[in-house]
A and B are shown apart, each in its own frame.
Chain A
Amino acid sequence: MATTITKTETLVGKRIRRREDPRLITGTATYVEDIQMPGMHYAAIVRSPHAAANIRSIDVKAAAAAPGVVAVFTGKDTEKVGPVPCGASLPDLRVPHHHIMAIDRVYYVGHAVAVVVATDRYLARDAADLLEIDYDVLPAVADPEKALAPGAPAVHPQWPDNTAFNYHQEGGDIAKAFADADVVVKQRITSQRLVPNAMETRGVVAEWRGADRQLNLYTSTQVPHLVRTLVAGMLGLEENRMRVIAPEVGGGFGSKLNIYAEEALMGFVAMKIGKPVKWIESRRENFLTTIHGRGHVDYYEVAAKKDGTILGIKLKIIQDLGAYHQLLTPAIPTLSVLMMPGLYKTKNVSADIVGVFTNCVPTDAYRGAGRPEATHGIERMVDILADELGMDPAEIRLKNFVANEEFPYPTATGLTYDSGNYAAPLDKAMALADYSKILQEQVEARKQGKLVGIGISTYGEICAIGPSPATPAGGWESATVKIEPSGTVTVMTGTCQTGQGEETTFAQIAADELGVDIDNILVLRGDTSIVQYGIGTFGSRATAIGGTALYFALQELKAKVKLFGAMLLESDDVTFSGGQVTCNKSGKTKGLAEIAGATYRAMKLPPNTEPGLVATHFWEPPNFTFPFGAHIVITDIDKETGDIAIRRYIAVDDCGNIINPLIVDGQVHGGVAQGLGQALWEQAVYDDNGQLITGEFMDYAMPRAHMMPWIESSHTITPTNVNPLGVKGVGEAGTIGCSPAVVNSVVDALSHLGVRHIDMPLTPEKIWKLANAGGTN
C-alpha cells in the first residue's frame, strides 16, 4: 500500500465508522476464551454457598482422584500469595486481609474456597462437586443500615461495629448556611446495588514458561499494567518476568478496573502445574463474585433562601462496601462527596461517609463510580426544593448555576471546574422539548386524570481521572508513536479500551497531525510486552489524557520529521503538512515515507539528532475535566398498572470538543441505557441470609433493546483548556445524567398526589401504589 497519501481532509470531528467493528461484528475478535494453547488445563473454582461460615474441614480426596484432575488447591495452599490489593487510602481505614481464597472462614456467597484443575473443563466442573466442605454456618448481614445497628452480626469478628471507615469533609460555613436558611429540605435517597454485567465475563489464561521464568497472563481487564505490577507482587514474581495481555475485552464498565483473586490464582496454578490453565467466569460467578456498583443510602439536607438560592448541602452517605476492599472500593463514595454540589454555586457543604462491611461481594467502580450517586442526590434535592418553594425546576437550576464568567470555578469540595456554560445545554434541551408547551399539556392531562411527568437533570461530572496526586496509581497516561521505515505509523497507547473505540479516535488524531491516511495507522494496546507502561481506560479518561499523550508524542515526531525533511530538501525554510515536508522557497517536497526511510537508513543525520522516528510521551494532566449537560425526560404513567412509558428522552451533553460524533453518540446511548437500567429495572437484591436472589438474568432485569426509548441526542461544545485537544470525556455522561431525569419525571407525574420522592428502581408496583395512594415510598 502506498504509504504517503497527501491528505487535505481532516478526520477529527468526523463521523467515521469504528475501525474495530469489522472483527467484532464478524465474530473474529480474540477474547480470553478464544486463546488456545497446547496442553491447556481448565480450572473450576469451588465457591461458598454461605454468606458467613467457618470452614471446619475440606476433604479434597475424592475430587483429586476424579478423572482428568491434576490438582486441587485450597486456601491453605495459596495462603502465601499476597492479598488482593486495596489501592485506596483513607485515614484509619480498616483493611481486612483479603486472601485469594478463603482459609478458615467465608465472608460472602461466592467466596472462593478451592480450585480444581483438570485436563477438560467438564471434568473440572464434575470434580468440583466432589469436594467435601464442612461449614459451620454463621449469621450474616447483607444490608448496610442493618449492619450498623447494635447487635448486628460482625462481618469481620475483629470489628464488631462493621465500620471500615468514617470520613468527613466540609467546605465553607455550613452552620451559618443552615442558620440563614428560609427553608431546609431533607430526604433519604438510595442508590441500589447494581451488577455491572459486561457482555464478556471475566476470564484468565495463565502460562508459565519455567525455563525462562516467564509468566504470561491473559486477562479481561481495563488495566493490564496495573495487573502486571500488582499480581507479580502478589505472586512474589519479578515484574519483568510477567507479561499481561488484555486481548479483546468485551466490556468492563469499571468492573474490570480491578485486581481480582483469580488473576493471581491462575498464575499460582500455572506455576504449580507447569502447564497453561484457563478459567472463564460463568455468568453465575459473574453475578456473585465480580464487583457490584453503587450501594448507597444517602441522607440529604439542603438549605435555601425563599428565592431558591441554595445556601448549603449536608450529606451523610452509608456506603455498602461488601466484605472486602477491592482496588478502589472505599474511594468510590469520596468521588460522590467531591461532586455533591453538582453545577451549583454553593460554597457550603458538609459530608460524612460511613463505609460499612456487609456479607456481600465488594462494591467498586461501576460506570460513573460515585458521580451517578452524587448527581442523583443533588438533582433530586433540587427538584424537592423547587417543589417546596413552588418554583419551576428549570428556573431554580438556572438561578444556582455557576456563571460563565466564574470559570475556572473553585468548588466547596476543593475542585476547580475547568470550563462551563451550564445554561446552554439546559436551554437547548428545553427548546427541543418545547418546554412551555409540554407544561401546558401536563395541566390539561391532569384535568383528564392522566399522569404525565417532565423531568430535568442538569449534571456535572468529574472526568479525565486524573492528576496523579488524586489517584492511587498515577493519573497520567502514555503514548508511543513509531513511524516505520516505509512510512507506516504505529501508535501504542497505555489506555486499554473495552469497547470505547479508541482504535478509531486515536487514529483520527494521529492521521490529522501527521497528515496521512487513517489506513496507515495501527493502534496497539493491552500488552505489557509491547506497550510502554500505562494506566488504562476508566473514569472517562482515555481520550482526554491518553489522546493528549498521543498528541504530544506526535508533536515530537513532527519536529523530527521536519528536521530530516529540511536536511533532505537542503533548506531551513520548510513546512510540514499534509504528510509531506515542503520547501517554502522552491516548493519541492519530501513525503513522509521517504523521510522515514532516511531516518532509519541514517546516511546523514541532522546535527544532534539520532536515527529513527519514535517518540514516547507520558502526559500528566494539570486538572480533571468537568463535562456537563442536561437531560429532559417526558413520561406517561398508566395509573391502572403503574407502568412507565418514556415518551421522549432528550439528552444534550457537553463533553468539550468532539473527535468522533458517531462514537460520542454511542457512548451517550450506552450510558443512558445503563442509567435507565438503574432508574427502572436493575437491582442486586440480597436476602437477609446474604443470598443473592437476583443472581441470574431470570431475575436481574437488564435493559434490552425493546425496552429502550428513542434517544434524542445532541450537544453543546465548551472546550476545556486542561488539554490541547479541548476534549473532556463522555464515557459515563449518559449514565450520570439519566437516572435523576427519569426519577424526576416520574415524581413530577405524581407530585400533585403528594409524592415527593421514589427510590430506584421505579418498579410498576411502587408506582401503582403511589399513584393510587400518594405519599413517599
Chain B
Amino acid sequence: MKVEYRIYMGIGIFVLLVTTVYFFWAKEYGGVTMLFGTAGLGIMPALYFGWWRKRMDPRPEDSETATLAESKGAIGAFPSNTIWPFVLGMGAFLSGLSLVFGEWTLVIGGALLIFAAASVTLESRRGGVI
C-alpha cells in the first residue's frame, strides 16, 4: 500500500503547490477552486490508503519475494453472468432521455433503475464467497 499511498499523496501535494502559486499569482478564484478540489482528489484517497497501510497485514503483492502459495484464501467473489447491469444501463439511458423527451421515459427508466438496482443487490447477497 505504500506506493499506492505515495503516488496519490504526491499528486495531491503537487497540485496543492500549483494551487498556492496560482492563488497568489493569478488571483482568479474559479481556477483556485477547481485546483483546490483536485488537490483534494489526490489527498483524500491518499489518506485512505495511508490509513489502511498501517492497519493491514503485509500483502504478498507488495513483497518482492512472495510466492504464489502465499496468497491464501479467496481472491474475491466474482459474479457469473447477470442481466442486471444491462437493465440498469437501460434504466439510466431512459432516465437520461427524459431530460430530452419529457417525463414519460423517466417513469419507465426510473422503474427499471430501481428494479435492477434491487435485483443486483439481492443477487450479490444470495451469492457470496465460496
A binds B: no
